[in-house]
Amino acid sequence: MTVIQKTKIAAITAAVGVAMGLGTAALAQPRGGAGGEHRGMRGGFHGLRQLGLSDEQRQDVRRIMELHKAERQSIAQRLREARRSQNEAVVAVPVDESAVRARSAELAKVETDAAVLRARMHAEVYNVLTPEQQEKAKALRAEREARGGQHREQWKNERQDESVKP
């Protein structure tokens, strides 16, 4: 192998390594809103504004959000730390599979805690709604899920089209 060939192989190997590292880092970035909060940890509920809440209902929702504010912030911080820790294990060389598994398990635990909190808050807010508002909320969720499925399908088709191009 010539020096030029060795140099090209080294450059390609380095570029692939950098690309993989950046891709892994991007995947490990916090998802969601400001401060890296996980989806739903900001306390927002999709479609709430479309339900025509009364002033009393809005106050009840604010009270529920305030009641859980410290817990939401704590879980958001735990999520950021767990994601960062998992990413550190993923990009470590040499690979320590047991560390990756342990940190991934910890992240899963924190994500489960976040999901449980979201579920509790959702139930509390849902109970503030009238039966008509609850039905409208269900319909809005179904519409949002249908749009999400359409967007995923469109994205998938675009990705396939890009891979076919020469």
Note every long-range contact of 130-135, with CB atoms under 8 Å and residues 24 or more positions apart, other chains counting: 133/51, 133/52, 133/53
Closest CA to 31 of 40, 22, 23: 40
CATH number of the domain encompassing residue 99:
1.20.120.1490
Closest CA to 43 of 25, 82, 70: 70
Structure confidence by residue, pLDDT tens digits, 58-106: 999 999 999 999 999 999 999 999 999 999 999 999 999 999 999 999 9
Put simply, whether the predicted model's pTM sits higher than 0.85 gets the answer no
Structure confidence by residue, pLDDT tens digits, 13-54: 655 554 455 444 444 444 444 344 334 344 456 678 889 999
Instruction: Please count the structural domains in the chain.
Output: 1
Which residue carries 């807010």 as its tokens? 125
Instruction: Report the SS3 class of residue 95.
Output: coil
